[in-house]
Amino acid sequence: MNQINKDHGKAINNKWEMVIGLEIHAQVSTKSKLFSKASTEYNAPNTCVDYIDLGLPGALPILNEECINKAIKSGLALNMTINKRSEFDRKHYFYPDLPLGYQITQFYHPITENGHIPIWIDQDLKNIRINRIHLETDAGKSIHKRNKTYIDLNRCGIPLMEIVTEPDLRNEDEVATFFRILQSTLRRIGTCDGNMEKGQMRADVNISLRKSGEEFGTRVEIKNLNSVNFMKKAILFEYKRQSEILESGGEIVQETRLFNEATGETIHMRNKEDAADYRYMPDPDLPPVILNDTQINQIKDSNLPYEVCQNIAKLGVSFQDAWIIAEDPYLTKLFESSAKSLEKNDKVILFKWVIGDVISYIKKNPNIEINPNYLRDLIVEVSKGNISGKAAKEVLIDFIEQDISPLEIIKKKGLAQINSADAIKQIVHDVIQNCQKEVESYKNGNENLKQFFVGQVIKATKGKANPKITQEEVLKYLANLK
Residues 24-40 have pLDDT tens digits of: 999 999 999 999 999 99
Tell me what pLDDT residue 482 has: 64
pLDDT band at 13 (very low <50, low <70, confident <90, very high): low
Sign of the alpha-carbon torsion through 195, 201, 204, 209: negative
Domain ranges of the chain: 4-297, 328-413, 421-479
Q: What values do phi and psi take at 389, rounded to 5?
A: -60, -40
> Letter for the amino acid at 64?
N
Band (pLDDT 50/70/90 cuts) for residue 449 is confident
pLDDT digits (tens, 9 = 90+) for 136-168: 999 998 888 888 999 999 999 999 999 999 999
Give per-residue pLDDT as tens, 338-379. 999 999 999 999 999 999 999 999 999 998 999 999 999 999
Q: What percent of the chain has pLDDT over 70?
A: 96
Confidence at residue 420, expressed as pLDDT on a 0 to 100 scale: 74
Residue-level pLDDT at 441: 81
Over the range 377-416, which residues count as b (16 or more CB within 10 Å of their CB) and which as e?
Answer: bbbbbbbeebbbeebbbbbbebbbeeeebbbebbeeeebe
Inter-CA distances, 4 with 7, 231, 387, 410, 419, Å: 9, 16, 51, 55, 56
- Which residues contact residue 392 at a Cβ distance below 8 angstroms, ignoring those fewer than 6 apart? 378, 381, 382
Q: Over the chain, what is the mean pLDDT?
A: 90
- The pLDDT-based confidence of 89 (bands split at 50, 70, 90) is very high
**Model confidence, pTM:** 0.85
What percentage of the chain carries pLDDT values higher than 90? 68
Assign 273 a pLDDT band (cuts: 50, 70, 90). low
pLDDT of residue 274: 67
What confidence category does residue 2 fall into, taking pLDDT thresholds of 50, 70 and 90?
very low
Rounded to an integer, the average pLDDT of 214-226 is 91
Model confidence over 56-75: pLDDT tens digits?
999 999 999 999 999 999 99
Q: Could you confirm whether domain 421-479 is CATH 3.20.20.140?
A: no
Element (H, E) at 330: helix 329-339
